[in-house]
Structures are given as C-alpha cells and as structure tokens.
C-alpha cells in the first residue's frame, strides 16, 4: 500500500513538472492534507471548513422545520418501499422556512437523472471550466469590439493608397468578432444543457442518499444526524459525509428545537395507560429543577397556559405515541408565538409556573 501511494505521488509530481493541467491528475492524489502529509485515502472533495459550514447551515434549517418534516421522515423509515417522490415531499416544507439560503433546492426539482456522486462532481468541474471559458471569451469580445471601432475610424482617415489594406484589416476584425459571437452562443447553449444535467443529477443524488440514510436500522433520525449526512452531498455519499462530519463541533441548538426536545423528553416518560390529558404530569415535570439552566423549560413554564391548552387539544386527537411530541410541539409553538391581546396576556401571566 505504501509503495502504491509513493508511486502515485511520483506520478503526480512528474505530471506537474511536465505542465499538465490539474484536472489530468487523479482526484485521490490531488487533495492532500493541509498539514502536508501523505494524500488522504479516498476523495475528500470538500475541505473540512467548507463541509463544517454546510453542515451547520443544514442543522439550522432542519431545526427550524423539524416539527413539520420530522413525522414525514419517520414515515419514510417505516415505509418499506419509499421512492424519490416521498423524499421530495418530506422536505418540501423547507421552502417556506425563513432565512432559507436554498440548501434544499435540489429536493424541489421535478426532473432527475440517475448518477453517482463521482459523476456529479466530474460534471460540476466541467461546468466550472466551461464558465471560465465563457468569461474569457466575453473579455475577448470587448477587446474585439474596440479593435473594430478603431479599424472603422482608420478607414475614414486613410489615404487612397492605404484604404484597401485598412479595409481588409477591418473586415478580418469584424469576421473575428462575428466568429467569437457564434462561439459564445454555442458555449451558452452547451452551458444550459450541462447545467440542467448537473442539477438533475444532483437532485437524484440528494433524494436517493436521503432514502439510504433513512433505511431502518441506521442512525437515529434527528436534525444533527441528518445534517451530517446531507452536508457533503451531492459530491459524496451520505456515509462519507456522515463519517467526516460526525466529529465536528455543533453550534448551540435553536430555541424552537430546544423546546421540542424538552417536550419530547417529557413525552418519552409518559405512563402508558393514560385516558385523561396528562396536564398534571407535565406540570410536575416542568417544576423539577435541573442542575444547569434550561431556558427551554423556563419558556414552557412561562407559557404554561398555552402548553396546557395544547395538551388538551392534542389528547383529544389521540396521535400515535411516536408522533405525539411533534403534534404537541406544533400546537404549542403556534399558540405561544402568536400575538396575544390584553386579556389573553393577563391570563397567561397568571398561569405561569413559578418554581
């Protein structure tokens, strides 16, 4: 193995010394570690700092929408034959989330093209080279236009003996400009086709890798695990992304998700046989003091009236125990976050739980 890696590195150095393009060098040899050690095993197509940024952005977005998308993801795991349409529908609510940077756009596309992450990476690299070629051609177009203007002025000022030579040069410059315009048009059409292919292939990778992650017997379904799996897509598989992201530090969870976690924790300890709404049980659990400050529990105590009404509404619908935390958290957050009039605010203040 060491000899193989050594030979590979020698080939890379030799190719570089001969002036070959970076794209001609094997990907596994191109991405060396930042410490200057031997090339990493496999293809780390995304640097750790960019992968961390993508993972944290996914966590923030998923935590915002978890109450809405969580039940759909659990249903996919329970369903034996889930397909791409199920994955698309499950994450469709991400579109309506505030501060959405477009991370989930690949889940909203109606067209897909089967491909593997390595193929998607190759096509995106090709698209990048095509964009660079278009930018270079657009820069030349301005230069050619200026040369045509100069030639036109020169024709007007030329003497009779020089006019034929200058007109011939002006014609050549115009032909060169027209040829460049045709090349730009061709490159533009090629880019549209390649970009659509990249987007469709990336959409396929996102949906299929999500389905693979959600298969039964794998990691727990929560925003952090899902973000670890999605961060590196579509340039790597969910397992590669998960393995690289799982050791990275997380930011503090968002407030709404902390509230959901607190409700979910209490629901997990509910007595099995409970015909009446467990209002008193929730009250007792919220009044228990914790060793460290828990702002989500304090928020629930301050909005106890909203939580009490949400418990009663939720219990009347008798949801499946697995989905009880999602429905209860959804009802509670809607009531807690809506604008209250003076009467409701006074009633809410009087029912606060005080330790």
Alpha carbon 334 to its chain's center: 26
Q: Measured between alpha carbons, how far is residue 244 from residues 34, 219, 333 in Å?
A: 15, 15, 34
The two tokens of residue 114 are: 């089967």
Q: What is the pLDDT of residue 39?
A: 40
Three-state DSSP at 42 gives: coil
Q: Which of 220, 180, 188, 230 is nearest to 62 (CA)?
A: 230
Which residue numbers in the chain have pLDDT < 50? 1-5, 7, 10-40, 42
How big is the chain, counted in residues? 355
Q: What is the pLDDT of residue 169?
A: 87
* Residue corresponding to tokens 């009802």: 331
For helices 48-78 and 238-245, angle between their N-to-C axes, nearest 10 degrees:
120
Q: What is the pLDDT of residue 158?
A: 81
Three-state DSSP at 98 gives: coil
The two tokens of residue 339 are: 């604008």
| pTM of the predicted protein model | 0.78
Q: Measured between alpha carbons, how far is residue 17 from residues 13, 22, 26, 89, 203 in Å?
A: 6, 11, 15, 51, 39
Q: What is the pLDDT of residue 165?
A: 86
CA dist 316 and 283 (Å) reads: 19
Three-state DSSP at 39 gives: strand
Burial class (CB in 10 A: 0-12, 13-18, 19+), 230: buried
């Amino acid at each position: 193995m060491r000899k193989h890696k050594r030979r590979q590195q020698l080939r890379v150095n030799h190719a570089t010394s001969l002036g070959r393009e970076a794209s001609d060098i094997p990907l596994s040899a191109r991405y060396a570690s930042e410490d200057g050690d031997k090339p990493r095993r496999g293809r780390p197509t995304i640097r750790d700092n960019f992968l961390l940024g993508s993972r944290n952005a996914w966590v923030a977005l998923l935590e915002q929408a978890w109450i809405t998308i969580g039940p759909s993801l659990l249903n996919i795991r329970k369903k034996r034959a889930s397909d791409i349409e199920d994955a698309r529908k499950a994450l469709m609510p991400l579109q309506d989330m505030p501060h959405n940077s477009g991370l989930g756009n690949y889940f909203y596309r109606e067209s897909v093209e089967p491909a593997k992450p390595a193929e998607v990476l190759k096509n995106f690299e090709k698209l990048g080279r095509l964009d660079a070629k278009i930018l270079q051609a657009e820069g030349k177009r301005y230069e050619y236009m200026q040369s045509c203007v100069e030639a036109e002025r020169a024709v007007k000022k030329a003497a009779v003996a020089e006019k034929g030579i200058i007109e011939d040069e002006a014609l050549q410059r115009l032909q060169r400009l027209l040829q460049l315009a045709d090349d730009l048009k061709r490159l533009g059409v090629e880019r549209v086709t390649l970009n659509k292919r990249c987007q469709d292939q990336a959409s396929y990778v996102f949906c299929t890798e999500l389905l693979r992650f959600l298969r039964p017997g794998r990691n727990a379904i929560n925003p952090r695990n899902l973000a670890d799996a999605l961060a590196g897509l579509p340039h790597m598989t969910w397992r590669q992304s998960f393995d690289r992201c799982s050791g990275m530090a997380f930011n503090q969870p968002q407030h709404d998700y902390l509230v959901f976690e607190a409700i979910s924790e209490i629901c997990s300890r509910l007595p099995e046989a409970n015909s009446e709404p467990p209002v008193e049980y929730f009250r007792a659990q919220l009044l228990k003091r914790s060793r460290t400050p828990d702002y989500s529990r304090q928020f629930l105590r301050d909005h106890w009236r909203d939580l009490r009404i949400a418990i009663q509404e939720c219990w009347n619908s008798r949801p499946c125990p697995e989905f009880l935390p999602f429905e209860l958290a959804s009802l509670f957050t809607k009531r807690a976050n809506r604008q209250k009039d003076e009467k409701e605010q006074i009633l809410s203040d009087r029912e606060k739980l005080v330790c």
